Structure 1
Amino acid sequence: MDYDTLDAAILAGALAGRSWEHWSTGLRIDVLDGGNEKSYFVKVIEREDFVGMAEAEYEGQKAIAAVIPDNAVKPVAWGYYADAKTKAWFMAEYSNFRARAPPLEQLLPIVKQMLKQMHQRSISPTGQFGFHVTSYYGPQPMIVDWTDNWEEFWVREFRSGLRNVERMRGQDPELFEIAEQFIEKVASRLLRPLQKVKVGASKPIEDFEDRVSLYAMAKADIKRLLEKYPDGLRYYMGGLEPTIASLPDTPPATPSRAQPPTQIASKGDNTGINTPPRTPLITYDPSRNSITDDLLAAGE
């Protein structure tokens, strides 16, 4: 690697020791610092509309590493190019996963155990669903503003996903017609009992497989579940609140989030290097909603 081809901000991040696909490009950088060779993985985002991915990757990987440090990427830093704020980068310690990966039959139990640990150990500091920075599902930004309501959280992200599908594949009138019925009848029927009724682990048990299908969001499953729950909540828990289908599916003008990252000084030109304060993994509180119990049961 010719270091002259690297942006100054990336080099500064590596040399500062801050333990570093087509919307992004990944590469390995080997750095010799005081006689010690270090290897970093760097992801470069060169499209202006996707630069938020760098911060999201850093915060997300840091949160995961705080919960399962032995099975997580070790994030180092993120920032913008020194001379172009329209480009960003994320840096992590380099790991050769191909050389370390066990056979598939050994890998699956490890992955299941990792999922269980994540959902058992992670705690929301607010007792709500959400995250303090916008996260991404591929190039698609997710709506992760804080809310007490799992149904609301799921529905607004479901609608956001539908709009993304429409942008990529064009209009599907049938899908959008059944989607609104799906939100009103099926989502409320399967998700609201988790929020409003004191159910035990993975209960109502008879709904478990249907909740798995709900999260999968396949068009065929949407149709099947609509046929199974044509009346929504009408004959379930009469005291539950009306459907939230009419709630807004876009974030508020001023979303709730943590303070922005701080600029730090270190060796070299450290322009654009951000090191936000450490934060725990945020998504759900096991004491509030049994969605966590579903995830744990699926991993057993």
Structure 2
Amino acid sequence: MDTDTLTLDPAIVAALPVRGEVVAIFRHGDTNWSYGYKIIIEIDDDDHEFFVKVLSCRSIFHWLASLIRFMKILDREDAKELAEGEYESMVLMHKLIPEAIVPPIAWGMFETDSSKAFYLTYFRDLDKQLPSDDSLIRLISKIHQKESPTGKFGFHVPTFYGCRKVDNSWCESWEEFFSRELRSSINFAQAVLQHDEELEGLAKTFIDLVVPRLLRPLETGGRSIKPHLVFGDLWDANVQVDSRTRAAALFDPCCFYGHFEFDFQCMTSDRYSLNYNFVYLYRDRVGVSEPAEEFDDRVALYALRNDFHTMGMWPRWTSVLDHVKSEMNRLIEKYPDGLHGLEVNTALENNTAFEENTALDYNNPLEENTVESATIEGNEDIPFFNPIVPGQGGTLVAIKADSA
């Protein structure tokens, strides 16, 4: 692997938690809106490894302009919110499941280029394979136990599902939050689909009839759901294992407080390795919301949001449009009267298996994922501590341009 010629921006240098000589910087992973670097710093003959993700609104601009075929005004705020959203999500994830989350260090804006932001963390070698179902169920169920601090649906900062910003403004009801997000996803896809007229009419009927019919019962008829934390981008590419410890490792969340079943949105298609087998295991071991008999249809509803987003992100996946229309028609035919076809029993109470489940000890992670085992097996370079916020990192000794 060749050393990259990148010279670290002073803002990244200031955020690094150690002082020493930068002996190598390697390109490590990228997307259409970000690119990553592995940084190796030597201190007393010991190497300390970090990972920095560089988020550039310029790269987003060029990608969107060519993909969507229209110009969108993007400025440094886009890069800033990408970095901040990931940092805030990872801070929360690390507090809940430190055994599976590399602790975040800092985020900030470049000093030398106002169009760029960065997210800094510790480097960890990962293998692209899924952890055991038992391990992943325990981790995800711990996330899903975290209740919203406001009692509302949303998040305190915007987060990004890929390159698209999620409007996390606080909502009183899940139906309101999800309806807003679904409309946004449809509009995102329509830009690539060049405003498919059939889809436009279908979407209006679907949102008017099916969305309230499937989501309103969660919060009426004596039922209520509390907004719980969701990972927000739970698919196989964001779930891997540590190459040394073999412990589960999760990353790139798109967090908000919502309905926990939403996290199954990427698990209904054969294009994902993490699929419906996991969904049913989670349902059987942890539980789902009432009415349980409508669980599959709720998951199908959430999966449509992901399909719309996928089409908007990657034009090659517009091939799923026929499937999307078929699913929308299926649910419209199943619930043609919308809320008018709903019989509400006010005596029902929301005694879901999810909220009553005592089979899982959420405070006792599986042995393979404990902090202690991770440290013993070679992760002692990754401390578990409170992350650094921008401006609180120590100032590193000046680095020569040729040291990278």
Q: Which amino acid aligns with 2:325?
A: K
Question: Identical aligned pairs, as a percentage?
Answer: 35
Q: Partner residue of 1:96? A: 125
What do residues 92-148 of structure 1 show as CA deviations (whole Å, max 9, x unaligned)? 1111112xx6x64x533322222111102x121101111111000000000110111
Q: Give the one of 296, 306, 328 matched to 1:222.
A: 328
> 2:15 matched to which residue of 1?
13
Q: Give the equivalent residue in structure 1 for 2:66.
A: none
* Cα offset, 1:183, TM superposition: 1.0
Pairwise CA distance, 1:35 = 5.2
State the Cα distance separating 1:46 from its structure 2 match.
1.9
Among 156, 171, 179, the alignment partner of 2:180 is 156
CA RMSD of aligned residues (A): 2.5
Task: Tell me the matched-pair count.
Answer: 242
Instruction: Describe the superposition over 1:236-267 as per-residue Cα deviations: whole angstroms up to 9, x where unpaired.
Output: 14799xxxxxxxxxxxxxxxxxxxx7643632
Distance (whole Å) between structure 2 residues aligned to residue 172 and residue 155 of structure 1: 20
Runs of 4+ that moved beyond 6 A? none
Name structure 2 gaps, 5 residues minimum: 20-30, 59-73, 225-287, 305-323, 347-388, 399-404
Partner of 1:264: 392
Residue matched to 2:108: 79
**Conserved in 2, the CA contact under 8 Å of 1:135 and 1:142?**
yes
Amino acid in the other structure paired with 2:136: V
SS in 2 for 1:176: helix
1:67 alignment partner, one of 96, 99, 103: 96
Cα deviation digits, residues 25-52 of structure 1 (max 9, x gap): 0121111246542111111112253402
Alpha-carbon distance in 1 for matches of 2:18, 2:156: 26
Task: State whether structure 2 residue 309 is matched by structure 1 residue 181.
Answer: no
User: Residues 86 and 269 (structure 1 numbering): CA distance in 2 closer, same or farther, change over 3 Å?
Assistant: farther
Distance in 1 of aligned mates of 2:344 and 2:37: 56
- After superposition, the Cα gap between the structure-2 partners of 1:6 and 1:196, relative to the gap in structure 1 and judged at 3 Å, is same
Is 1:56 aligned with 2:85? yes
1:187-266 → structure 2 map (5 Å cutoff)? 187-199=211-223, 202-217=289-304, 218-237=324-343, 263-264=391-392, 266=394
SS in 2 for 1:70: coil
What are structure 1's unaligned runs of at least 5 residues? 241-260, 271-300
Report the more deviating stretch, 4-13 or 213-222. 4-13
For the residues of structure 1 that align with 2:13 and 2:165, how far apart are their CA atoms?
28
Instruction: Select the residue among 31, 37, 48 that pairs with 2:47.
Output: 37
> Do the aligned residues in 2 keep the contact of 1:15 with 1:31 (CA within 8 Å)?
no
TM-score when scaled to structure 1?
A: 0.73
* 8 Å CA contact 1:62, 1:75 repeated in 2: yes
SS state at 1:234 partner: helix
- What is the one-letter code of the residue matched to 2:56? E
